[in-house]
Amino acid sequence: MKLWKEWDLKTKVVLSFSFLFALSVISSGIFYYHSSVGELKKQTLQLLDTNSTQITRTEELYIDDMEKLSLSVFYDSLVQNVLSHSNETTEAENESLNQQITSHLLNISVSWPSVQGIYLYPTDNPAATYYWAKRSPFVGNSIAEEPWYPYILTYTQSPYLLWPTMTEYTITNFQGVKVFSLIRQINQIPTGKKIGYMKLDMDVNVMKDLVSYREYGEEQDSSLFILTDQGNVIYDSQDQWTGKVMDGIHVADLTGNKASGTLTWQGKSYLYGSYRSESTHWTTLILKPMNSITSRLKEIRNTVMIIESLILVLVIVIAWFIATGITRPLRRMITNMRHVERGDFTIRALHTNNRNEIGQLGKVFNQMLDSLQDMISRVYVAELREKDARLLALQAQINPHFLFNTLSILKSLGRKGATTDVVEVTESLAHMFRYSLYDWNGTVALSEELNLIESYIKIQTYRFQDRFRYEIDVPEKLLKAQVLRLTIQPLVENAVVHGLEQRKSGGLIAIHVRANEGLLEILIADNGVGINLQTQAALNQNLADLDIHSSNTHTEHMGIALLNIQKRLHLIYGHQYGLSFLPTPGGGTTIRLALPLHFE
């Protein structure tokens, strides 16, 4: 707040305009950005939720078709016959049956290009395997070597088991084709006896066309996952996690069959939509990076910020011109006022023809100067002459006072016949008269005023002999300080005449000079009869309230010297300087003379 008060008006106007504009623009921009992000996030979550639901429905339809295909194999008479009597065939018969089964299964699956192989495993002959496959399996492949076999023995959740994606276990799978499998138990018709197992291998790439997910816009940065409850990835649209267990995402945490929201995966924030199928027990999960939601808005935000910055610069320029138009005339007015302060009353404000407030201010300023000049010519000059006349009158009063006191001493010495002493006193008196002939309105060095006191003390020594002594304590650097003529000597004279005249011995007059924060303080102390505290308070009040224009030069308890000195100090320096009495605990009187401290 203090710094704000110290700034000039133009700076305040420019900063105020700029701050208010920037605050309004930034506030509205932040509100628009966050509301837009929130709305876009809401729409994206709705879209992800809808897409995950549709994709899950498509998966279920495909798996239903695969189940129907498996049922056609299940009920096939040749399959039932071969699996029911597989333990009764010879090796040659078994080879012939295998060829028949292969041809037969090929005919069944010809309409399903995604099917990579159909495998039959008789329970009565675990070493035997009948199949049709696009790539040849390993020789001697049996049901015990299949990873799903331990699970199918106890699996009861549905008529078939969907085994997660894995690399096809064949000899000629050089390209690493990945398949997921539908496995079901085959029972004998009509006895219901378990006679074997069937496995359908389906190329996982069928999902690319089956659950193709395309986003709106140019960036295709979403990821589609089909997961089992255990986290096995059936399909990954980015083909990075297909056939693996997905780390960092727990399917159970995706609450409910249908859910959407936000999650953090691999250090990044995503929006997600998911849907779990009750028939396949697979969960479709679509992840949309959060930064892709906000990237476009950030581009718009940055563009808007650049535009707003340019507008802010324009606002600052306009505010600067407005502020300059206001402050430039005011600065000129201040310059004119400073000229007036220095005494140049001929200066005038320009551009007073403007009808705005600045022009009116210039007109009033010029009218004020005209009135001020007229007042100076009629009043101020007359006042200065009155002050000069009063100074001359004061000088006329104080000179007889000095002369009267000194002539009394000369009279006393003359009666004693001390011719040499009369000469010395006369020389001291001559020094004092020469000193007093100069302009009282001028200042002299403190050392000259102290020399005058030395002359006065020399004169008084002849009168009082050894009844008092004189001490002075003045720092050498203050000897050149400027003081008014004849302001200290009359105070010393009062101390001698009114304070020490009644003492027979042991009298003391001391002068102490000190400087205090631009103030020159001169203390004249004596150990004479003193003045009681009540009288001192009355004297101090009278000195403070003294009217320099009053013609009355007598006030109760005050002499001519004090009145004259106080009036001169007030006329020359002002009422903040002058004389005052200080309490003197040891007895006697101490008077303080305060002057402005300056050197020639």
User: The domain that contains 85 carries what CATH number?
Assistant: 3.30.450.20
In a domain, 315, yes or no: no
Query: Are 462 and 590 part of one and the same domain?
Result: yes
In a domain, 541, yes or no: yes
Query: Are 382 and 413 part of one and the same domain?
Result: no
Kindly state the helix (H) or strand (E) to which residue 343 belongs, with its residue range: none
In degrees and rounded to multiples of 5, residue 195 shows phi and psi of -120, -5
In a domain, 489, yes or no: yes
pLDDT in tens, 477-507: 999 999 988 889 888 888 888 888 778 888 8
Identify the segments of the chain with pLDDT beneath 70: 1-6, 10, 88-91, 138-140, 212-220, 255-258, 345, 351-358, 376-402, 405, 418, 437-441, 548-560
In a domain, 19, yes or no: no
Query: Are 431 and 361 part of one and the same domain?
Result: no
Query: Exposed/middle/buried for 111, CB within 10 Å: 0-12, 13-18, 19+?
Result: exposed
Omega before 583 within 30 of 0, i.e. cis? no
Kindly state the helix (H) or strand (E) to which residue 224 belongs, with its residue range: strand 223-227
Query: Are 366 and 506 part of one and the same domain?
Result: no
In degrees and rounded to multiples of 5, residue 276 shows phi and psi of -105, 130
In a domain, 49, yes or no: no
Question: Across the strands, what pairs with 481?
Answer: 599
In a domain, 427, yes or no: yes
In a domain, 287, yes or no: no
Query: Are 501 and 589 part of one and the same domain?
Result: yes
Query: Are 367 and 510 part of one and the same domain?
Result: no
Whether 165 and 282 have beta carbons less than 8 Å apart is answered as no
Cα atoms found within 13 Å of the Cα of residue 25, Cβ hemisphere only:
17
Query: Are 416 and 536 part of one and the same domain?
Result: yes
Query: Are 388 and 404 part of one and the same domain?
Result: no
Contacts of residue 285, defined as CB under 8 A and 6 or more positions apart, other chains included, come to 52, 224, 225, 226, 227, 249, 251, 254, 272, 273, 274
pLDDT (0 to 100) of residue 36 = 79
d(CA 409, CA 278): 136
Q: How far is CA 95 from the centre of its chain?
A: 87
| Token pair 């000059």: residue | 381
SS3 247: coil
Query: Are 457 and 481 part of one and the same domain?
Result: yes
Range of the domain at 200: 63-206
Question: Across the strands, what pairs with 269?
Answer: 264
d(CA 230, CA 591): 106
Query: Are 127 and 74 part of one and the same domain?
Result: yes
Question: Across the strands, what pairs with 523?
Answer: 512, 592
Query: Are 364 and 432 part of one and the same domain?
Result: no
Report the number of distinct structural domains present in the chain: 3
In a domain, 268, yes or no: no
Show the tokens assigned to 470. Answer: 């004189």
pLDDT (0 to 100) of residue 557 = 42
pTM (2 d.p.): 0.52
Whether 152 and 194 have beta carbons less than 8 Å apart is answered as no
Contacts of residue 222, defined as CB under 8 A and 6 or more positions apart, other chains included, come to 48, 213, 215, 237, 286, 287, 288, 289
pLDDT (0 to 100) of residue 553 = 47
Query: Which of 360, 394, 428 is a domain's end point?
Result: 394
Query: Which of 360, 378, 394 is a domain's end point?
Result: 394
